[in-house]
Amino acid sequence: MKPDSITQLELTDVPEVYHNLKYNDGEIFFADNITSIPGLMKHFQVNFIAYVMVLEGNLTVELNTVPYQLEKNNSLFVDRKTVIGNVSHSDDFTCLICAMSIDMGFGFFNKGLLQSIMHIIANPVITLSQEEVDLMVKYYELLVFKMDHPEMNFGRETMRDIIRCFAYDLLANINRKLDQGKDDDMLRQGDRIFRRFMLLLSENSNVNRSVKSYADELCVSPKYLTSVCRKHSDYTASELIATSVISRIKQLLLYSDLSIKEVATEMRFDNLSFFGKYVKKHLGLSPNNYRKANGYGK
C-alpha cells in the first residue's frame, strides 16, 4: 500500500467523520461508540493520541499491520502516526474512547507517569481489572453529567481536570502492573537515551529550549539525540522540546492569572518581544490574542 493512499485523520477531522462525540474542545474528545463511523475507513493514520477501553464484546484491529484482538476490560493505546486498518467488532461491542492532541498529551507528562507511557507505546494492549474499569467509567459518567448540566459546568478547565484525573488514574493502574527494574535492564541504548530525554523534559518544567544542553546532560551529541528522537517518535529533539514548551505556555496563558510578561519570565525568555515571536510562530497568534481567542478570563 502506497503511503499517499492512506487517509490522514487529524483531531480536527474527527467531528466531521463522527457525529456522536460526548465531549470535544478541539484538543480532547471523548466518545462511547465507534459502530456508527461510516465504514471505519479501510486504512487511516491518526495524527493524535487515542485510548480505547472495551466494555463489552470484542474488537479486532491492526496497528501498523500488527493485528490485535481485544476483549472485555482490554484497553488499547494508539500512538500518533499509527496506521489503523481492518477494524471489526462483535455486535455487542461497546467501548469508551479518549483522544487528545500530542501537545495536550505533553501536559500530562511527569516523571512518575512516563514509565507507563513508554511501556504502552511498545505494548499497546493492557488488561484492567473490573474495579479499574469501573473507576474509568465513573470519570466518563461525570464528564457526560457535566456536559448534560451546563449550569453545573464551570468552564473548560474543570472538564480538563476530570480528563487529567482520568489519565493519571489510568496510567497509575498500568504502572502498578509493571516491573520497572526489569524493563529498564532490557532497554537498548537508544531506548534508554530517549526515555531519559523525555524524563528530562518533564523535570525541567518545560523551560529549557536548547537541544545541546539536553544532549550534554545525556552525554551524547545533539545529532545523535535528534536521530534517537526521530526513530522513537517521528519528531526531532527540537520539535519535542518545542511541543513540551508550548504546552506549558498554553497552560499558563489560559489557566493562570499571570500577566504576559510574568509568563515570559516564568518560561525564562530573555525579553517579552522574543516570547511574543515564539508564541506567534507556534500558535499563530500573539500571547494576548491567543488568550482572547480562547476566552481567557470568561
Where residue 262 sits, what CATH number does that domain have? 1.10.10.60
In this structure, of 75-89, 101-115, 249-263, the range with the lowest mean pLDDT score is 101-115
Q: 34 and 115 share a domain?
A: yes
Last residue of some domain: 142, 176, 210? 176
Q: How many Cβ atoms from other residues are within 10 Å of residue 199's Cβ?
A: 16
Comparing 11-15, 86-90, 138-142, the range with the smallest average pLDDT is: 11-15
Amino acid occupying residue 84: I
- Over residues 167-192, the pLDDT tens digits come to 778 777 776 665 444 444 444 777 77
Strand bridging mode 74-78 / 59-63: unpaired
Domains held by the chain: number: 2
How far does Cα 189 stand from its chain's mean position? 25
Give bridge partners of residue 45 from the DSSP assignment.
8, 83
Q: Residue 247: give the domain boundaries.
A: 187-293
- Are 213 and 288 in a shared domain? yes
Q: Do 161 and 223 fall within a single domain?
A: no
Q: Please, which pLDDT band fits residue 37 given cuts at 50, 70 and 90?
A: low
> Same domain, yes or no, for 7 and 131?
yes
Q: Are residues 137 and 169 in the same domain?
A: yes
Domain boundary at 131, 146, 176, which? 176
191 and 165 within one domain: no
Instruction: Say which CATH number the domain at 102 has.
Output: 2.60.120.280
Residue ending a domain, among 118, 151, 176, is 176
Of 16 and 277, the structure prediction assigns the larger pLDDT to: 277
Contact in structure between 206 and 248 (CB atoms under 8 Å) = yes
pTM higher than 0.85 for the full model?
Answer: no
Whether residue 181 lies inside any domain: the answer is no
Residues 164 and 31: their CA atoms lie apart, in Å, by 16
* Residue 153 and residue 264 in one domain: no
150 with 235, same domain?
Answer: no
| Residue 153 within a domain | yes
Phi, psi dihedral angles at 163 (to 5 degrees): -65, -40
pLDDT band at 4 (very low <50, low <70, confident <90, very high): very low
